[in-house]
Chain A
Amino acid sequence: MSSTTVTTTPIAAPAAGAQAPPKLFGIDSRFVAPIFITFILLVGQLAYGILESYAMTALAIVTAVALELVLGRLLVGKWPHLASAYISGISVGILTRSPYAWPFALCSAISITSKYVLRVRDRHVWNPSNFGISVMLLLAPWAYSTLSVQWGNNLWPMLVIWALGAIITYHVGRIHITLTYVVSFFVLSYVRSLVTGHSYWAEAAPITGPMYQLFIFFMITDPKTTVRSSRWAQALVGFLVALAEMFLRLAENVHAPYYALFVVGPAANLFEIYLTSRRAKS
């Protein structure tokens, strides 16, 4: 672990090596992802009431943004851009299910702080909200669970979100990760179906839920915590996340996608850092 400069580039920043993308729908790229996730929240809440409560979601967002401001100012010496923290906060606010208020704040706090603490060669290696949620699931299962249900009986909001998400991830050069993961999930669902003997649709069912929309558009595509070597490498990581998830699901792990990314994401980053360092030395 080292401590150097922390940047808080928003999630929709262009992938390494790419030029800054043009504005999407006339919106500055930095604001595309925050606007998109806010849209998901609004669709989910207004159509189905997916939130535990407005107050608890607000608590998660406020905690994330406030902590980002404090840590950014104290440790980096300047006011950070808040898009990333906002996305982390809103992800926690949507995904957290708890009757208590404190897990919302704590999960956000762990997510944001992890960016500043768990760093290797100037990179944080875990997606913040994935880290926060995984830690909460491991340490506070008696008080914490995640959103695990579907949008409801109407397919349209989900299709709209998927379409918009595809446009945005294409725009920011991350669509190959999303597509690789989604295709892998559906194919591996078939494999799981063969192993378990359950209906194919029972195995594929989870990906139709709202949790996965945040997972594929915001967590596995996070530019700060995905490998940077090449698009092929990024797609490979997307596949490995789906593969790890398959094994976790076969072991009947309820939180398989979170734990799969929790393990594969940093492992891939560390491997890339190791390779980069070896190349630099040679």
Chain B
Amino acid sequence: MRKSPIARGLLILFFAALLATPFVMKRWHERAGSPSAARAAEAGTDSAVFGRYGFRLEEVSKQSGVDFAHSAPTLDDKLAHIMPQVASMGAAVSVVDFDRDGWQDLYVTNSGEGSLNALYRNRRDGTFEDVAAALGVADLNRAETGVSMGAVWGDYDNDGFEDLFLYKWGRPELFHNDGGKGFTRVTDKAGLPSWANANTALWFDYDRDGKLDLFLGGYYPEDVNLWHLKNTKMMPESFEYAKNGGRKYLLKGRGDGTFEDVTAAAGINTRRWALACAAADLRGTGYPDLFIANDYGVSELYFNDGRGHFRDAGEQTGVGFAPKSGMNISFGDILNRGAFAAYVSNISEDGVLVQGNNLWVPREGTGGDALKYDNLAEEMGVELGGWSFGAQFGDLNNDGALDLYVVNGYVSLDRGANYWYDYSKIAGGNTSIISDAANWPPMKGRSLSGYQQKRVWVNDGAGKFADVAQAVGARDTFDGRSVVMADLWNRGVLDVVVANQRGPLLIYKNTVAPENAWVGFELEGTQSNRSALGAQVRVYWAGQEQVQEVSGGSGFCAQNQRPLHFGLGKGARVERVEIRWPSGKTQTLEQPEVGKVHHVKEA
């Protein structure tokens, strides 16, 4: 080495600069994207928060008459040592106007054996009343028939009332909605699987025949009864490459409450560990494509060829390349350019596992079968949430750009004891080790990514999100699972409801700056399925374009309200609205009035 002191000095200086880089980057990242604590303090008063972000959230479940606490199941004794992490899902919420009174109601699942699900009917006065027991959709959690994991609503017989599909670790159930006055269990004739350990499902009309179909995604294999295990070899065979999960079901609806299993014919034969699914027409074909977020592996994106077949294009499009721990999939036109980005949540724990959540944004210039996505989560500031579960896009401040609400936290037990070391130890093991629950170290009351803060990422409309959760009032640290957005009080704003594992149902009432305009659309299909699932609405205003699609389930074990809500910003006027129905028909509304929900029937 040349012995010039200057060269040595410069080398040492360079080395010191390299070592200092992580501190600089941390500061830069904090300033750019995660200002929650700092900005909350900086923002100060409620009015300052309101002025800065244009909205604030207030948790009002008690005032609303909602006192729901989720309980977890107690599974086979062989799993007792790791029960908290196995029995770690089942808190779910879906939004439905089941009685068609124009007010959004909530269906909430419970999972403890003997626990009750709740159907909160909106009383139109700011309070809710649980009518589940009276209407026959409460007492559905039994070891013999399984416990609830989530629910989705869709009008399978096109009678105008949304029917209920309940998926479980156990026997899935279908209930016909009898005109909003009660429910009839129609499971036995429906042709559903007799048992599926499912954590995700959705209604959609994949073949556009006007009759709703079902997709059901298994997590644990369907031959596993979690209350009566034959053996303990029921865990994933790998932390990132597992293909020994539950099968998937594509059930073609006949419109009469019966379904035909067309999974194999459709080419869907994955056994990855599905935790979330959502459908949307991502390529402009008119047919819904199917995105599945998988735990212990890569995501799958199935292109729908319109002829009854699906093809996994996950790797081709980029979304199925790096294996992570997918727990959510939701779509949103975050850049107002008429195309859906897809948000997949994963695990990030400082120093242990930094997977980062994925924000898949369509690459410009690609589309159709050549569609490609880039993960812009880092660039846009929505990457690090924690152990993230449910997420939803929605314009929380009506400024015209979709924001993102993400819940985090896996198992919150002893605050001072951490299970991460033991978890990482077994996660690195070979198949024969990791797949056997008997090998998993006991949790002994320790937390695993517990007590985590939530993220409310506000979109600046120019490609950057900032976390304002603490500032705007989303300050709970329960183990969040399912999150939905709905206008619960018909005020033209999106409220937020969060279902927490072994925790309360939280209702965050949203107050939004009144100067921001909005418009809503509630669609009713005639030739298309009556729920209008799959209908796309494009709103054009002030040189912008935003597309939304009516969804039969998205996020994690969740379903948002069916009416579509568009924030527009200050004093905005809508130029035109284009509706493309699942049937293929299009309808255009010229300059629809803002500040109201338009009820549009397929012409």
Contact = CB atoms under 8 A, between A and B. Distances in A.
Interface in A129-154: 135-137, 139-145, 148-154
A58 to B, nearest CB: 14
A117 B351 contact: no
A143 B26 contact: yes
Contact of B11 (A75, A158, A203): A75
Contacts of A71: 11
A281 B25 CA distance: 47
Contacts of B25: 100, 102, 140, 143
Interface stretch (B112-120, B183-191, B434-442, B456-464): B434-442
A110 B322 CA distance: 25
A137 B14 CA distance: 20
Given A143-B22, A196-B441, A252 B433 contact: no
A99 B2 contact: no
A142 B19 contact: no
Given A149-B239, A150-B238, A150-B431, A202 B441 contact: yes
A249 B7 CA distance: 41
B578 to A, nearest CB: 36
A114 interface: yes
Interface residues of A, number: 62
Interface in B222-256: 237-244
A97 B21 CA distance: 17
A153 B439 contact: no
Nearest to B323: A49
A148 B322 contact: no
Given A205-B425, A205-B429, A141 B351 contact: yes
Interface size bucket, B side? 35 or more
Contact of B354 (A110, A144, A202, A249): A144
Given A49-B298, A116-B11, A203 B22 contact: no
Contacts of A266: none
Interface string B565-589: 0000000000000000000000000
A77 B2 contact: yes
A18 interface: no
A150 to B, nearest CB: 6
Interface string A206-224: 1011010000000000000
Contact of A97 (B237, B354, B378): B354
A152 B236 CA distance: 10
A5 B424 CA distance: 41
B418 to A, nearest CB: 8
A205 B322 contact: no
A141 B12 CA distance: 24
A254 B433 contact: no
A90 B433 CA distance: 28
A77 B1 CA distance: 7
Given A6-B1, A75-B2, A142-B354, A110 B431 contact: no
A74 B420 contact: no
A99 B354 contact: yes
B421 A253 contact: yes
A177 B438 CA distance: 33
A205 B18 contact: no
A202 B426 contact: yes
B12 A117 contact: yes
B264 interface: no
Interface string B403-442: 0000000000000001011101111111111100011111
Closest 4 CB pairs of A and B: A99-B356, A205-B429, A141-B351, A252-B421
5 contacts: A99-B356, A113-B11, A140-B26, A142-B29, A202-B440
Given A49-B321, A202-B422, 6 more contacts: A48-B240, A141-B350, A152-B238, A198-B422, A201-B429, A205-B428
